[in-house]
Each structure stands twice: as C-alpha cells, then as structure tokens.
Amino acid sequence: MTKADIVAEIAAETGIERNEVLKTVETFMSAIKSSLAKEENVYLRGFGSFIVKRRAEKTGRNISKNTTIIIPAHNIPSFKPAKVFVEEVKNKVVVK
C-alpha cells in the first residue's frame, strides 16, 4: 500500500477531498519526523511507537581497500507496534 492508496482510502471513507487528506497525511508524517529529529519519541496508543534508537560507535571494514574504518555513534528511527496491533496482524486469516 502506498501513500496515495492511503489517501484514497481515507478520502473514500470520510468523504473529505483528496487534497485535504493528502495535506493532513503529509503534516502527520512531518510532525513525526520532526519529533524524532529532536530525539522525542511519538506514542500512538493502540497503534505503536515511533522511537529513536542509539547505535553505538563500531569498527567496520572497507573490503575493497582492506582498511578498517570507525562508524560513529548515531541515531536511527524505529517503529515498535502495540500489542493490540501485533495480535490483530497475527490473528488475521487471509482467504484467497
């Protein structure tokens, strides 16, 4: 499912124009990105959490030059689904 599919589905269910739904979805994603950039986690009850994980500094290898490089510590975004979300996905039976 793409962002366009999500916008189309929300527009069809709510009767709101696609342009307004697209603006809302874009603003929602922008708010999550800016919060994570400030190292603030986002919690959506019943859905999941967008969290910032810290990766420690580590040693890597450049195989083509046969050299060792240091990969600095850095943050990465992560998503942790809520238990309700996980159970719903686990228990879905797909009938074709």
Instruction: State how far the Cα of 79 lies from the Cα of 37, in Å rounded to an integer.
Output: 14
CATH class, range 41-96: few secondary structures
Model pLDDT for residues 69-84, shown as the tens digit of each residue: 999 999 999 999 999 9
Residue type, 23: K
Q: What share of the chain is helix, strand, coil (3-state, %, to 5)?
A: 40, 30, 30
Model pLDDT for residues 8-45, shown as the tens digit of each residue: 999 999 999 999 999 999 999 999 999 999 999 999 99
Domain ranges of the chain: 1-38, 41-96
Helix locations, 38-78, DSSP H: none
Write down the pTM of the prediction: 0.77
Q: Compute the average pLDDT of residues 40-58.
A: 96
